[in-house]
């Protein structure tokens, strides 16, 4: 149950932030501003990366997108209780957390340590 929760969290974060980043990068590529969130603020704005030149910002966005894709795979493996899912999720955690700081993403800043904690609690159940 704990590993399934960690897997669902990993996959959910990856899908949510990955999808939002694809939309954001697409808008930037077409010369538009970052999209507005349902909460009334610009997506991926407000953090230290917001001050970067456009090419560097886009590169950090691609890094987040790649990390999100890996987190979805890790989530699927965690859901199955596979040790490789735990290893992969823990390997991406510092990168995800750093990108969460850079883009000022509070859900990622809470979700990544929570996922690591769930993995630690369920480590005896890994196959």
> For the chain, give me the number of helices (H) and strands (E)?
4, 0
Q: Which domain holds residue 63?
A: 2-125
Whole-model pTM: value is 0.94
Q: pLDDT digit string (tens) for 78-101? A: 999 999 999 999 999 999 999 999
Looking at residue 71, what is its pLDDT? 98
Q: Half-sphere exposure of residue 41, counting CA atoms within 13 Å on the CB side?
A: 8
Count: domains in the chain: 1
Which residue in the block uniquely carries the two structure tokens 């456009």? 54
Distance CA 111, CA 93 (A): 10
Looking at residue 39, what is its pLDDT? 84
């Amino acid at each position: 149950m704990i590993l399934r929760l960690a897997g669902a969290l990993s996959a959910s974060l990856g899908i949510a932030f990955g999808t939002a980043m694809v939309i954001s990068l697409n808008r930037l590529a077409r010369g538009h501003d970052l999209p507005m969130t349902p909460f009334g603020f610009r997506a991926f704005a407000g953090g230290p990366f917001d001050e970067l030149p456009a090419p560097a910002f886009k590169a950090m966005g691609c890094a987040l997108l790649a990390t999100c894709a890996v987190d979805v795979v890790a989530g699927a493996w965690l859901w199955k209780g596979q040790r490789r899912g735990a290893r992969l999720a823990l390997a991406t955690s510092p990168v995800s957390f750093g990108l969460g700081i850079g883009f000022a993403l509070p859900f990622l800043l809470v979700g990544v340590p929570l996922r690591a904690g769930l993995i630690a609690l369920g480590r005896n159940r890994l196959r």
